[in-house]
């Protein structure tokens, strides 16, 4: 467990970086925001680069929210995937400005890569955890066993990342049909064909009814094609 001073420094650094960018904060400013001595920062992290490397591996609140989804099988699959995509997009929107700074700094990127190797961490874990989540929906009977959970996770996480990227660099209005429409369209293409006959369908706001109906309409078509192939 992180010491109080170390935790305050990490929290302060993350807050300043999210507000101003990774290249525009100083150790003095971080220490001041953390109500800690600048020497405490160097004691805990060695140097500014060491601190920034730790911040890049810090678990953002958005990723904790993403992981806090209800277990597979509770409720209906479409509602769960919409929430999954919303939280994934929120996470990538929060992470992009932080990660972009590391890519621009070769030494920081090298240290971050080393840390990921040592801790066996990195962006691939989001795909693996997402695939496990989708596998749980297969086991619940709401997602057809013909679906490839890992490929589906790549498509959904990739879509969330792209949506966040557009929102960050061009504005939310440049996402076709807005974030909600984008999410429903992607789920319809990626998961719609694999939603089983037994999948539940809960009530949703009227404006989402048509989108959800299109998602569920894809499932019978996929089953019909598969039945013909067999």
pLDDT digits (tens, 9 = 90+) for 167-198: 999 999 999 999 999 999 999 999 999 999 65
Residues in the chain: 230
Residue 202 sits at the vertex; the CA angle it makes with 167 and 75, to the nearest 5 degrees, is 85
What global pTM score does this model have? Answer: 0.81
The confidence score (pLDDT) of residue 178 equals: 95
DSSP, res 195: B
What domains does the chain contain, in order, with CATH numbers? 1-58 (1.10.10.60), 59-229 (1.10.357)
pLDDT at 215: 57
d(CA 27, CA 42): 9
């Amino acid at each position: 467990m992180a010491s109080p001073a170390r935790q305050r420094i990490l929290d302060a650094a993350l807050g300043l970086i999210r507000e101003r960018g990774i290249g525009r904060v100083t150790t003095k400013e971080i220490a001041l925001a953390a109500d800690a001595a600048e020497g405490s920062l160097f004691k805990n992290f060695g140097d500014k680069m060491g601190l920034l490397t730790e911040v890049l591996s810090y678990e953002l609140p958005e990723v904790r929210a993403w992981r806090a989804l209800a277990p597979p099988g509770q409720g209906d699959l479409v509602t769960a995937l919409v929430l999954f995509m919303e939280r994934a997009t929120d996470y990538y929107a929060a992470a992009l400005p932080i990660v972009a700074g590391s890519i621009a700094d070769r030494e920081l990127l090298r240290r971050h890569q080393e840390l990921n190797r040592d801790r066996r961490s990195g962006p691939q874990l989001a795909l693996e955890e997402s695939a496990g989540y989708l596998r749980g929906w297969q086991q619940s009977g709401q997602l057809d066993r013909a679906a490839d959970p890992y490929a589906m996770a790549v498509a959904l996480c990739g879509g969330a990342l792209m949506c966040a990227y557009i929102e960050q660099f061009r504005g939310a209005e440049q996402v076709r049909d807005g974030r909600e429409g984008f999410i429903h369209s992607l789920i319809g293409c990626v998961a719609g064909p694999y939603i089983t006959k037994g999948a539940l369908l809960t009530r949703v706001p009227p404006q989402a009814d048509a989108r959800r109906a299109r998602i569920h309409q894809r499932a019978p078509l996929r089953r019909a094609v598969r039945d013909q192939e067999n």
